[in-house]
Amino acid sequence: MNSFDVVVIGSGPGGYVSAIRCAQLGFKTAIIEKYPTLGGTCLNVGCIPSKALLDSSHHYHDAVHHFEGHGIEIKGGVKANLKRMIERKGEVVDQNVSGIKYLMDKNKITVMEGVGSFEDATRIKVTNGKKSEVIEAKNTIIATGSKPSTLPFIKIDKERIITSTEALKLNEIPKHLIVIGGGVIGLELGQVYLRLGAEVSVVEFMDRIIPGMDGALSKELTKVLKKQGMKFYTSHKVKSVEAKGEKVTVQADNAKGETITLEGDYSLVSVGRRPYTDGLAAEKAGVKITDRGQIEVNDHLQTNVPNIYAIGDVVRGAMLAHKAEEEGVMVAEIIAGQKPHIDYNLIPGVVYTWPEVAAVGKTEEQLKEAGVAYKAGSFPMKALGRSRASGDTDGFVKILADAKTDEVLGVHMIGARVADLIAEAVTAMEFRASAEDIARMSHAHPTYAEAVKEAALDATDKRSIHS
């Protein structure tokens, strides 16, 4: 029987990063993946393909709406070729997943294709079709990720009533896409098809989109997306989604209890994701699963079985690739006897719409609820020279700092390239910077990053220079 120091089940960003760190630490490592390509949800049907389509549709949208203003004339008009966009997305995914295979080989990690299932706490069966092999694992890291979830009365037919996975490979641009759920995935994919010419309606149960983020971000994003043509039905509880031929009918009740009916040709169900443990036979190893379907772990990402750990979407916390990666590294180092730590408060959240939305730390709502005395500083993107030059004037940066100590407690941004700008806020908060620390740092001119400095000046004592 093949025997390993560490066996990782699942090759998403949690699993493959963990396997690499284990190999770096000198462990004999194997990774099991049930699909033929490595990289999990993120690389195959998540982060990467969605960003590829967001970028392609963004170029198209700019060509149609903004090129003329920049003095670029396109003779004969601009046409969206969805087939080519999807093909290109496939090429981007292929480059990324083959990159992971290269990294596995480079780090001498044994890659096993098949479903990994526990025989007991130290033996794992890898089943690929009719073939199966049992391997021995001193330590196991469960990184089996998540799958799209739905509502009990919605039947996902994958043709007209679809999840994000199908939305990444449609054969046609929808005429009317009805998005159920105004979270990150629904808004990103909704914007892809909005830019390509679809009518897009978003139905959200809560009273605002991106409900987990700071209210000001939600308000600004709603305003900008409405301006772009997206329609919103917030505080609407979906009660039925039916497909008949090429038609989809969605019914939802508003806050007054009145029913609205929306008719479209596709409905994207993006109401969240559920942890995935099907086929894992966790019970054979005695691993506890919570009522919410998550693998239960302690602060060291250890399950109730001491040599079995779990990371990423399958455990509690934000379902984000970079959170899974941090946990992957942490768990490898714990197995090696080190004492790593993750500050979950400093895991940034990003929405890759345009304008982008990014945040780290506490929201104003959270600070109010916790009774923390804070001060807020903000700066509008439209006051930046860089934003005027590119024409990306929507959005702002808001910094929340402790009223007494000036320590930065939360940073919330919406605007061009804020997905990248948020790294400055994470760095500052990691080093427990004050708003004045950021305000006194030189930021290159002209850049979008100047908005961070200006918001910090505003938070320090209302001494922003350019607003």
Interaction site with ligand FAD (CB under 6 A): 9-15, 32-35, 40-42, 46-47, 50, 115-116, 143-146, 164, 185, 276, 279-280, 312-313, 319-322, 324, 352
Count CA within 13 A, CB hemisphere, residue 13. Answer: 21
SS3 437: helix
Q: What are the beta bridge partners of residue 202?
A: 179, 232
Residue indicated by tokens 């990691």: 430
Minimum CB separation of residue 444 from ligand FAD in Å reads: 26
Selection from 253, 214, 248, 261 nearest residue 234 by Cα: 253
Minimum CB separation of residue 452 from ligand FAD in Å reads: 21
Which structure tokens are listed for 225?
């997306």
Which structure tokens are listed for 283?
């019970």
Minimum CB separation of residue 251 from ligand FAD in Å reads: 25
Which structure tokens are listed for 171?
């054969």
Minimum CB separation of residue 137 from ligand FAD in Å reads: 13
CB 409 within 8 A of CB 367: yes
Nearer to ligand FAD, 63 or 289 (CB): 289
What residues act catalytically?
A: 445
Nearer to ligand FAD, 376 or 418 (CB): 418
Minimum CB separation of residue 177 from ligand FAD in Å reads: 15
Please state, in angstroms and rounded to a whole number, the distance separating the CA atoms of residues 179 and 203.
6
The interaxial angle of helices 450-461 and 418-430, nearest 10 deg, is 50
Selection from 322, 396, 400 nearest residue 362 by Cα: 400
* Alpha helix segments (H runs only) across 272-358: 282-285, 321-335
Nearer to ligand FAD, 348 or 377 (CB): 348
CB 190 within 8 A of CB 268: yes
